[in-house]
Structure 1
Amino acid sequence: MLTVPIRQLGDSERSTVERILDRDPYAGAQIAERVAAHGLSWWRADGRIYGYGPGRDVESLCWSGAHLVPVCVSPPAVAAFAELLGAEPRACSSIIGRADAVLGLWDRLAAHWGQARDVRPNQPLLVAAAAPPAPADPEVRLVRPDEVDALFPAAVAMYTEEVGVSPLLDDGGRGYRRRIAELARSGRAYARFVGGRVIFKAELAIVTRRTAQVQGVWVDPEFRGRGLAVPAVAAVVRDALRRVAPTVSLYVNDYNFPARRVYARCGFQPAGTFATVLF
């Protein structure tokens, strides 16, 4: 039996959940996007959200679904969530969030869930709140829905390079293609085309009232080293700040020095450290 103050949260506690998510709008962005769209009833279909705190008070959150996402989690909350989650088989494909929370959870869950495919312990979290100092590439634009066929191979190449496995393995890529198509339909996919070929791409994978989180930044290997990335990313940031959210955020592997230099030249500032555990 659990001996810790932890419980699953429901619809009546939406305001409490939103208050905690506002305390860390970057680590909580994935959850905040879903809550804004669907309320807490969404959890019943796609996952569960747990709160930690004494009595009826809630001070920390953890979403358990396709991903495991801790938000505003103290060391006692890490221990509590790990005690709860370690009693069940692993259902998530990754643990994502602030490094201290993610690595603390993994330290306690590894014995129950088995070996991870990859652990990325140091991923700088970067935030831009002003237009980039670098000039924007005028050729980078939103992808039209009828251009998904051209975008999809580039998205697969990026995913495979970044994550280490192909998104085509599970269902032939149907689910991943639906995701890419939805990003294009919602005005959240960017690309630069040369002769119908995508040579740069990026997406606003998560959008909340506080931030737009950029993911999937990729330059075709043939075009790397030509100075394309800085103006291309600057174009994405400039448009997202103008049209979507008051900040743009992302996290990057610490060893990816070329990408980190690009983001610095586009005005991104450090805002902490993320970690990711991949299964």
Structure 2
Amino acid sequence: MLPRRHILDVWEFNKNKDELLSMCTLSLAIDAVKYLEKESKKDHLVEALEFNEFVCYMFPHQKPHNRSLLFHVVSDLLGLLMYGVPKKTKHSLKNLESINYSEKNMEHYPIIEVWNTLKDKVYVKKHGVESIIEGFVKKIQIEMDIMERYPFVEDILFNSKEKLNEWLQSLASFYDKHKKTVKNVYDQWWALWLCNSDQERVLSNMLERLNIQAQNEYGLSIDKNHLLSSILSNKRANRHENDNYSRWYKEGVKLLLRI
């Protein structure tokens, strides 16, 4: 899922202001650090779970804020079920979203129970690349609803750039990189989301990135002007998409916490 949704993911289960920024920053960082390497070396969601365990054992003073990684994984799993799994995703920082996922790699983690349960309830077979692109558009609708109804999310996204310092040591240790390298890749990723810009500019930017990704990976173009007008004007549809997503996301997290 996209960054504003991942912030809302954490807020759905923890509204403590003192903890929220730290937890959200970690959830955002696990997406940004995918781009430390030119190619993903392992499944993104498995990597998030492994990093969660790493923090528990090597940086226990940061518990329980690392729980946001579990929220992140549940959200991404649900996004794959509801909006499709691209058959190929080139590794590019400027992609709207790069996905590296294998269900087989999840089999050794309790999270697979969440996948199997939600799969029976929300999965609909997708047909062709058009449905994958449509899934990306729905993710964008969710981002726009969050900007409309949850303005505090923008504040968290903005402040995460500095709050990252809290997680730099653990991230650098896990990925065996210099802290400056981790910080630089986060700053590059963060800048792409145009934090604190107006909604039309943010939406236009996301649609442009999606169009480039669709052209590069599927040989298709999207009608950016039509989508821009439609998404900006149809706030009810955006809200419906986000509320429906929240419903299933909460069910997934509650299931995971019971395992």
TM-score of the superposition, structure 2-length normalised?
0.28
Higher strand share: 1
Higher relative contact order (CA 8 A, sep 6+): 2
Higher helix share: 2
Structure number, greater radius of gyration: 1
TM-score of the superposition, structure 1-length normalised?
0.26
